[in-house]
Amino acid sequence: MRDFTWGIAATGGIARTVGAAIVAEPGMGVAAVGSRSLVRARALALPLGAESAYDSYEALCADPAVDAVYVATPHAQHLEVAEAAIAAGKSVLCEKPLAATVADAERMVALARAAGVFLMEAMWMRFNPLIQRVAADPRFGEIRSVRASFGFALPYDPAHRLWAPELGGGALLDLGIYPFGLAQLLLGMPEGLRVTGSLAPSGVDAEAGGVLLYPGGRRALVDVSLLAHHPNDASVVGTSMRADIRAPFWAPERVLLSGPSMEPEELVLDPADNGYAGELREVRAATAEGRTESTIMPLDESLAMMGLLADARGQLS
C-alpha cells in the first residue's frame, strides 16, 4: 500500500510541527508544501522530504500526488484554502478554529458536505489519549464541574496575528477554543453563558473569563488571556472521582485521578502517541473508508463551538 500523502498549506510554526508529525508517522509522507512565498515553501519542503513546492495554495491543492491538505494558515485564510482543497477533491484537515467567523465555518462545512469531501477541524486535544480516557471513564459518576485556563502575557503588537482582527486575532479564537472545547467534550453545549473580559486597542478580545451553565447546576469555569500567565491546567470533578489534568491541559502528558473510594491513579502519555498523530490517523482512516466526517471531531460540534465563541466575544463589546 502506498503512503498516504499530504500537502501542507503555509509554513509557520504549526505547519512545521505537524509536518514533522506526518513524516514520523509510518505510512505517511509530505508530497508538497504551498505558500504565497516560493522561497518559504521550498524551505519547509526540503526538511520534510516533499518533492514539490508551490507559490499558491491553488497549485498545492491541484497536485495529483496530494491525498489530503493540512491547512495551517492564519484563521482568516482557512476558508480560502479549504475551498480550493474541497474543489480539488482532497481530504481537508483544517487547523483550529475551523474559521475566523461563524459564516466562514458554515460555508466551509456546506461546501465539504455538498462535494462529499472529508473535512475535520484539527482539534488535537480531542485526539490526546489521556483526554480520551478522561472523557470515556465512567468512574466520575456525574460530572458536576470543569475548570480550565489558558493564558500568557503577549506584548501588544497590532501587526501580530493574535492582536490583528483581520487575521482572526483574539484570545477566544486562538486560546479559548481549548477550555471551551474541554467543557463541550465533557458536558456538551451549555444552556447559558456569562463572560466578562477586556478588549485590546485593535478591538480583539485580550482576555475573557466566565461560566458555562448546564442543567441541574453543572458548570464549566473558563479563563483565557493574552495579558497574563495562567496555570494552564484543568480539573474535572464528578460525584465519584476527579481528574487533575496537568499543564498544558490541551496536550497533557500526565493526569491524576483521585476519589474518596480509590487509590490515586496517574495516567502517563506515551510520547509517540500524541494528539497530532491521532488527527493524522483519523484523516487517513476516514479517507480510506469513504467517510466525509470524523466521529471524534464532528463538524456539527465545530460549528457549535464557533457559535459559542462568537457569543462569548459578543458579551465583551
- The b/e string for 107-132 (b: 16+ C-beta within 10 A; e otherwise) is ebbebbeeeebbbbbbbbbbbbbbbb
CA dist 6 and 86 (Å) reads: 14
The catalytic residue among 40, 78, 90, 96 is 96
CA dist 297 and 294 (Å) reads: 5
- C-beta atoms surrounding 55 within 10 Å: 15
Asked if residue 126 lies in contact with residue 275, where contact means CB atoms within 8 angstroms, the answer is yes
Amino acid (one-letter) located at 188: G
Is the peptide bond prior to 97 cis by the omega test (within 30 degrees of 0)? yes
- C-beta atoms surrounding 256 within 10 Å: 14
List the alpha helices (DSSP H) in 125-233: 129-136, 171, 177-187
User: Is 90 one of the annotated active-site residues of the chain?
Assistant: no
- C-beta atoms surrounding 271 within 10 Å: 7
By annotation, the residues acting in catalysis are 96
